[in-house]
C-alpha cells in the first residue's frame, strides 16, 4: 500500500488544480464533490498506509518511496516520501482533521462569494502540509513548509474586499519569512557539512559523530547547536513563538475553518514536527534545547495571560493556540519529543473543535465575534454549547479528557528533568488556560443575550454538515488522551502506547529523555493532583466571575481594581506597538529613504530621466550642424580630413 504514498499529497493538489484552474463553470455541487473527494481519498489512502504500517508493512519502521532524483552538480535531491512513526502520526492528524474541516467548510462557507476559490486554496494547503510531513529530506520538507505558508497567506487574506485581512496575510507571510531565512541557513550548513539533505544520512552521521557537539562553528555555538538554533528560529516563525508570534492573532482575519485547520491544528505545529524530526541534532545541543524550552514556557504564559483579557472569541483561541504551542516547545526543549507530538495531536483535536465551535457561534451571530455581545447562546445553540464545553474541558486538562494526559506529560517532563522553574510556569499557564477558556465559554453561552434584537432573531443551531464533524472531533478530544496514559496511571503496565510508537524515531544518545529521574511516586501523585487542581481552579474562578448573569459587569468591577494590569493585557503587552516603533517604523523610514533617495532621485531622475535629458540636450545643440546645405557638409568633411592628417602627422 505504501507505494501509493505519493498519491496522498498529490490528490489534494489535483483537487486544487481542478477547482482552481478549470472549475469556473462548474456547478457548486461538482466543486464540493472535487473539494471533499480529494481529501477524503487522501484520508482513506492514509488510513490504508497506516493500517499496513501498524501491521509491520514497513521493514525497520520506515518506508521510503522515491519518485525522482533531482540532480544539479554535487547536489542530489530525491523527490521522495517517507512513512515512519512520526510522519504516520502527523499524516493521521493532517488528513483526519483536515477532512473534517473540509466537510465543516461546506456548511460554513456555503453562502460565501469565493466558495470555489476557498476550497481550491484549502486543498492546496492539504497538499503542501502532507508534502511537509511526508518528505524524506529537508528540501521536500521546506517545499511543503513554504507551500503551507503561501496557503496561509492566501487564506488569511481570503476576504480581500475588506482592508484588514490582506494586511494580516501580508504580516503573516513577512514574519514567516524571517523564520524561513534561518531555516534555509540551517539547511545550507547541513549541506555544506554532509553534502546531502536527506534525513537518514544526516541523522546517522550526526549520531555517530559526537565531535559535532564540541568546538565552535558559528555564533559561538557548536555545529549541532548552530543548526538547532537556525531550525528553531524557523520554527518560531511558523509555530508562532516569541518573538515571531505576532502574526498568528492577526491571522484570525481569515475564515474560521481556516483558523481551525491552518492556524491551530496543523500548519502552526509544523515547527514542533520539525524539531521532533531533527531531535538527533537537538539532543547534541543541550544549550539550544534549554533555550527552546525557556522560549516555549515564556510564550506559553505570555500568550495565556493575554488570552485572559481578550473579548474577541477568535482572539482568545488564537492566543490559546500560541500558548499551547509554547507547551509543545517546552516539551521539545526538555527532550520530551514524544510528549510534544502527543500534545500536538490532542491539541489538534480540541483546538479544531473549539475553533469550529466558535465558527458555529459566529455563523449563528451573523459574523459577530465580540463575546461582550454574546451570552446565553446555550439555549439557542445546544449542540455547539455542549461541544464547546467538551473542548474547554479538554484544553483545560480536566481528566480524563485528552488535554489532561498530554499536558500532564509535559509538566511531568519538566519536573522529571528538575526544571522546577519551567514546571511552575507551566502550572500557572495551566490555571490561566483553564480560566480563559471557561471565561470564553461562560461569556458566550451562559447568562443572558447581550447582542442586538436582529442578532437574537437570527440565532440558529448550525446544520448537521457542521455539527457532525464537531462531534467526531469532540470524540477525539475526549479519547485521544488514552493513547498516552502515563506510567503512574497504567497500573503497572506500560499503557503509553503513543510513547512506544514514536520510540524508533526518537533517539536517546545522551540521556536527555523524559524517563523518570527519580521522582518518587508520592511526588508524582502530588504533581498530578496539582495539575488537576490547576485545571479546576481556573474553571471555578471563571465560573465565579462569569458563570451567572451579568458577567461583563462583574469583570469590569474586578478588573477595575487593577486598571494598569488589565490595560496591558487587553492591549497584548503593546507588543505590536513596540514592534511598530522598533522595527516597522525604522524599516518604513529606510524604505522611504530608498524610495525617494535611490529610486525616485538617483534612478528615475538622475539616470533615466537625466540620461534622456542629456541625449535631448546634445541633440538640441547638435542639430544646428545639420543645415541641409551640401557645402557645409563638404566643409565638415574637409576639416575632418585636415584634423585626421594633423593627427597622423603630429601624434
Q: Which three cell numbers stand for residue 305?
A: 495571560
CB of 644 to other proteins, least distance (A): 15
Place of cell 492556524: 263
Question: Cβ closer to other proteins: 511 or 619?
Answer: 619
| 635 sits near other proteins (criterion: CB under 8 A) | yes
CB of 638 to other proteins, least distance (A): 6
Q: Which of residues 611-630 bind other proteins (CB under 8 A)?
A: 623-624, 626-630
DSSP helix/strand/coil, 374: coil
CB of 621 to other proteins, least distance (A): 11
Place of cell 547536489: 75
Handedness of CA 129, 135, 141, 144 (dihedral sign): negative
Question: Cβ closer to other proteins: 603 or 634?
Answer: 634
Contacts of 402 (CB under 8 A, 6+ apart): 346, 349, 350, 394, 476, 477, 478, 479, 480, 481
Q: How many residues bind other proteins (CB under 8 A)?
A: 11
Question: Cβ closer to other proteins: 491 or 624?
Answer: 624
Question: Cβ closer to other proteins: 582 or 642?
Answer: 642
| 631 sits near other proteins (criterion: CB under 8 A) | yes
Place of cell 523564520: 179
CB of 626 to other proteins, least distance (A): 5
Q: Which three cell numbers stand for residue 147?
A: 507551500
CB of 609 to other proteins, least distance (A): 23
Place of cell 470564553: 440
| 634 sits near other proteins (criterion: CB under 8 A) | yes
User: What is the DSSP track for 567-605?
Assistant: HHHHTGGGHHHHHIIIIIHHHHHHHHHIIIIIIIIIIII
CB of 608 to other proteins, least distance (A): 26
Q: How many CA atoms lie within 13 A of 514 on its CB side?
A: 24
Handedness of CA 384, 386, 389, 393 (dihedral sign): negative
CB of 622 to other proteins, least distance (A): 9
CB of 637 to other proteins, least distance (A): 10
| 160 sits near other proteins (criterion: CB under 8 A) | no
Distances from the Cα of 538 to the Cα of 152, 265, 350, 404, 433, angstroms: 33, 24, 18, 14, 7
Q: Residues 287, 214: contact at Cβ < 8 Å? A: no
Question: Cβ closer to other proteins: 520 or 626?
Answer: 626
Give the Cα separation of 74 and 68 in Å (integer): 16
Question: Cβ closer to other proteins: 56 or 622?
Answer: 622
CB of 640 to other proteins, least distance (A): 13
Phi and psi angles of residue 81, each rounded to the nearest 5 degrees, phi first: -110, 155
Q: Which three cell numbers stand for residue 233?
A: 528560529
Phi and psi angles of residue 419, each rounded to the nearest 5 degrees, phi first: -90, 75
| 174 sits near other proteins (criterion: CB under 8 A) | no
| 55 sits near other proteins (criterion: CB under 8 A) | no
Mark 576-615 with x for binding to other proteins (rule: CB under 8 A) and - for no binding: ----------------------------------------
| 649 sits near other proteins (criterion: CB under 8 A) | no
Place of cell 511543503: 144
CB of 614 to other proteins, least distance (A): 19
Question: Cβ closer to other proteins: 66 or 627?
Answer: 627
Give the Cα separation of 326 and 303 in Å (integer): 9
Question: Cβ closer to other proteins: 21 or 630?
Answer: 630
Q: Select the residue interacting with other proteins from 497, 594, 638, 645 (CB under 8 A).
A: 638
DSSP helix/strand/coil, 368: coil
Footprint of other proteins on this chain (CB under 8 A)? 623-624, 626-631, 634-635, 638
Amino acid at each position: 500500500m505504501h507505494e501509493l504514498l505519493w498519491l496522498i499529497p498529490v490528490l489534494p493538489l489535483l483537487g486544487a488544480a481542478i477547482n482552481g484552474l478549470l472549475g469556473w463553470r462548474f456547478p457548486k455541487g461538482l466543486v464540493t464533490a472535487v473539494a471533499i473527494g480529494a481529501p477524503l481519498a487522501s484520508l482513506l489512502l492514509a488510513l490504508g498506509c497506516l493500517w499496513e504500517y501498524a501491521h509491520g508493512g514497513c521493514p525497520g519502521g520506515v518506508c521510503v518511496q522515491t519518485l525522482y532524483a533531482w540532480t544539479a552538480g554535487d547536489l542530489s535531491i530525491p523527490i521522495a516520501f517517507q512513512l515512519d512513526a512520526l510522519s504516520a502520526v502527523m499524516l493521521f492528524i493532517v488528513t483526519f482533521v483536515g477532512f473534517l474541516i473540509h466537510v465543516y467548510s461546506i456548511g460554513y462557507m456555503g453562502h460565501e462569494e469565493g466558495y470555489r476559490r476557498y476550497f481550491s486554496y484549502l486543498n492546496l494547503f492539504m497538499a503542501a502540509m502532507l508534502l511537509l510531513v511526508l518528505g524524506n529530506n529537508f528540501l521536500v520538507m521546506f517545499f511543503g513548509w513554504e507551500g503551507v505558508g503561501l496557503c496561509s497567506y492566501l487564506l488569511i487574506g481570503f476576504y480581500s474586499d475588506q482592508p484588514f485581512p490582506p494586511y494580516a496575510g501580508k504580516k503573516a507571510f513577512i514574519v514567516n519569512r524571517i523564520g524561513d531565512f534561518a531555516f534555509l541557513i540551517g539547511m545550507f550548513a547541513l549541506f555544506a557539512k554532509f553534502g546531502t539533505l536527506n534525513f537518514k544520512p544526516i541523522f546517522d552521521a550526526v549520531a555517530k559523530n559526537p565531535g559535532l557537539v564540541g568546538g565552535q562553528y558559528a555564533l559561538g555555538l557548536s555545529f549541532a547547536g548552530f543548526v538547532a538554533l537556525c531550525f528553531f528560529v524557523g520554527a518560531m516563525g511558523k509555530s508562532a513563538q516569541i518573538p515571531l508570534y505576532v502574526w498568528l492573532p492577526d491571522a484570525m482575519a481569515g475564515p474560521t475553518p481556516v483558523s481551525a485547520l491552518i492556524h491551530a491544528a496543523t500548519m502552526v505545529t509544523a515547527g514542533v514536527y520539525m524539531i521532533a524530526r531533527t531531535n538527533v541534532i537537538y539532543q547534541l545541543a543541550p544549550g539550544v534545547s534549554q533555550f527552546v524550552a525557556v522560549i516555549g514556557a515564556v510564550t506559553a504564559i505570555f500568550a495565556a495571560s493575554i488570552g485572559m483579557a481578550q473579548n474577541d472569541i477568535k482572539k482568545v483561541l488564537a492566543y490559546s493556540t500560541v500558548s499551547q504551542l509554547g507547551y509543545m516547545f517546552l516539551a521539545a526543549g526538555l527532550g520530551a519529543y514524544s510528549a510534544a507530538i502527543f500534545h500536538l495531536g490532542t491539541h489538534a483535536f480540541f483546538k479544531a473543535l473549539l475553533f469550529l465551535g466558535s465558527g458555529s457561534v459566529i455563523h449563528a451571530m451573523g459574523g459577530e465575534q465580540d463575546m461582550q455581545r454574546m451570552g446565553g447562546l446555550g439555549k439557542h445553540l445546544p449542540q455547539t454549547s455542549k461541544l464547546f464545553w467538551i473542548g474547554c474541558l479538554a484544553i483545560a486538562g480536566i481528566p480524563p479528557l485528552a488535554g489532561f494526559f498530554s499536558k500532564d506529560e509535559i509538566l511531568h517532563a519538566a519536573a522529571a528533568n528538575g526544571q522546577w522553574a519551567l514546571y511552575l510556569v507551566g502550572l500557572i499557564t495551566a490555571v490561566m488556560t483553564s480560566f480563559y477558556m471557561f471565561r470564553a465559554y461562560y461569556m458566550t453561552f451562559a447568562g443572558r443575550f447581550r447582542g442586538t434584537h436582529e442578532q437574537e432573531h437570527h440565532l440558529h443551531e448550525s446544520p448537521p454538515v457542521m455539527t457532525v464533524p464537531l462531534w467526531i472531533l469532540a470524540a477525539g478530544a475526549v479519547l485521544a488522551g488514552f493513547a498516552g496514559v502515563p506510567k503512574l496511571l497504567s497500573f503497572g503496565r506500560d499503557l503509553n502506547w503513543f510513547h512506544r510508537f514514536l520510540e524508533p524515531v526518537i533517539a536517546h544518545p545522551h540521556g536527555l529523555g523524559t524517563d523518570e529521574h527519580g521522582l518518587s511516586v508520592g511526588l508524582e501523585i502530588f504533581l498530578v493532583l496539582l495539575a488537576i487542581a490547576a485545571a479546576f481552579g481556573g474553571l471555578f474562578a471563571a465560573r465565579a466571575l462569569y458563570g451567572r448573569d451579568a458577567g461583563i459587569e462583574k469583570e469590569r468591577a474586578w478588573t477595575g481594581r487593577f486598571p494598569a494590569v488589565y490595560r496591558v493585557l487587553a492591549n497584548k503587552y503593546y507588543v505590536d506597538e513596540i514592534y511598530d516603533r522598533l522595527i516597522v517604523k525604522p524599516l518604513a523610514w529606510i524604505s522611504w529613504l530608498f524610495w525617494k533617495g535611490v529610486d525616485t532621485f538617483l534612478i528615475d531622475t538622475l539616470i533615466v530621466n537625466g540620461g534622456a535629458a542629456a541625449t535631448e540636450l546634445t541633440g538640441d545643440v547638435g542639430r544646428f550642424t545639420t543645415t541641409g546645405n551640401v557645402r557645409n557638409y563638404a566643409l565638415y568633411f574637409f576639416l575632418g580630413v585636415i584634423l585626421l592628417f594633423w593627427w597622423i602627422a603630429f601624434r
